[in-house]
Chain A
Amino acid sequence: MTSAARSRTGLKRWRKDYFGSPGAALMTLFSLAALGAILWVLVDWGLIRATFGAEGNQETCAAGGGACWSVIAVRWRVILFGIYPFEEQWRAALACGTVALVILLSCIPRLWSFGRLALIWTLGTALFYALMRGGVLGLAPVNEQQWGGLPLTLFVFVATGVIGMPLAIGLALLRRSDYPVIARVSGWIIDTIRSLPLLSILFTCAIVLPFMLPGFLIGEKLYRVVFGAALFFAAYQAEIIRGGFQGIPSGQEEAAKALGLSYWQRMGRIVLPQAFRLALPATINQFVIAFMETSLIVVVGFMELLAAGNTAFKTGDWKFAYAEVYVFIAAIYFTFVFGLSRYGAYLEARMNTGHAKD
Chain B
Amino acid sequence: MAGSTFWRSKSVRGIVLQGGFLALIAAVVIGATLTARDTLAAQGLTSGFGFLRKATGWEMNFSLLPTTTSDPYWWYLLMGLMNTLFMGLVGLTGASVLGLIVGLMRSGRNPAARLLGTLYIELFRNLPLILQLFFWYAMANALPAPRQSLEIGGALVNARGIYLPGLAIGPGTVALALLAVASGACLAVWVLAARRFRRMEPQGQRRLSLAALGAGLALAAVTVLAGHEPGTAWTSWPALAGLKVDGGFRIQPEVYALAIAIMTYGAAYVGEIVRGGFKAVGRGQMEAAAALGLSPWQVFSRVRMPLAFRAMLPILINQYVWLIKATTLGIAVGFSDFFMVIASSINHSGQTFEFIAILMGGFLLINFSLAAVLNRLNRAIALKGHQTTGVQ
Contact = CB atoms under 8 A, between A and B. Distances in A.
A348 interface: no
Most chain-A Cβ atoms within 10 A of its Cβ — which of B108, B138, B363? B138
Given A27-B110, A179-B17, A211-B39, A185 B25 contact: yes
A112 interface: no
A139 interface: no
Interface string A323-338: 1001001100110011
B327 to A, nearest CB: 8
Interface string B117-130: 00100110011111
A208 B325 contact: no
A130 B110 CA distance: 54
B236 interface: no
A213 B35 contact: yes
Nearest to B136: A326
Contacts of A292: 127-129
Given A24-B110, A31-B113, A208-B353, A322 B138 contact: yes
Contacts of A182: 17-18, 21
Contact of A310 (B122, B128, B134): B134
A326 B126 contact: no
Q: Please report whether the interface of chain B is mostly helix, strand, loop or mixed according to DSSP.
A: helix
A199 B342 CA distance: 12
Contacts of B329: 199, 296, 299
B144 interface: no
Contact of B131 (A28, A299, A306): A306
Given A181-B22, A292-B128, A293-B128, A195 B368 contact: yes
A34 interface: yes
A358 B339 CA distance: 51
Contacts of B108: 27
B356 interface: yes
Given A17-B109, A31-B110, A196 B332 contact: no
A186 to B, nearest CB: 9
A58 to B, nearest CB: 13
Contacts of A208: 346, 352-353, 356
B131 A196 contact: no
A197 B325 contact: yes
Contacts of A214: 31, 35
A30 B360 CA distance: 46
Nearest to B359: A200
Contacts of A210: 39
Contacts of B139: 322-323
Nearest to B141: A322
A299 B364 CA distance: 22
Contacts of B18: 179-182
B130 A326 contact: no
B363 A35 contact: no
B328 A199 contact: yes
B111 interface: yes
B134 A326 contact: yes
A283 interface: no
A333 B115 CA distance: 22
Given A18-B111, A35-B116, A212 B122 contact: no
A204 interface: yes
B288 interface: no
Contacts of A211: 35-36, 39-40, 352-353
Contacts of B326: 197
Interface string A301-340: 0000010001000000000101100100110011001100
B169 interface: no
A306 B325 contact: no
A334 B122 CA distance: 9
A337 B116 contact: no
Nearest to A38: B119
A237 interface: no
B35 A212 contact: yes
A194 B111 CA distance: 39
A198 B122 CA distance: 23
Interface in A278-296: 292-293, 295-296
B373 interface: no
B138 A326 contact: yes
A333 B128 contact: yes
A298 B130 contact: yes
Contacts of A11: none
A197 B332 contact: no
A32 interface: yes
A292 B363 CA distance: 22
A337 B353 CA distance: 37
Contacts of B138: 322-323, 326
B135 interface: yes
A107 to B, nearest CB: 17
B225 interface: no
A110 B232 CA distance: 77
A199 B84 CA distance: 14
Given A292-B127, A323-B135, 11 more contacts: A35-B119, A179-B21, A185-B22, A208-B356, A212-B35, A213-B32, A214-B31, A292-B128, A296-B130, A333-B126, A333-B128
3 smallest CB-CB distances across A and B, nearest first, come from A31-B112, A322-B138, A197-B325
9 contacts: A31-B112, A34-B116, A179-B18, A180-B18, A195-B364, A197-B325, A200-B359, A295-B130, A337-B127
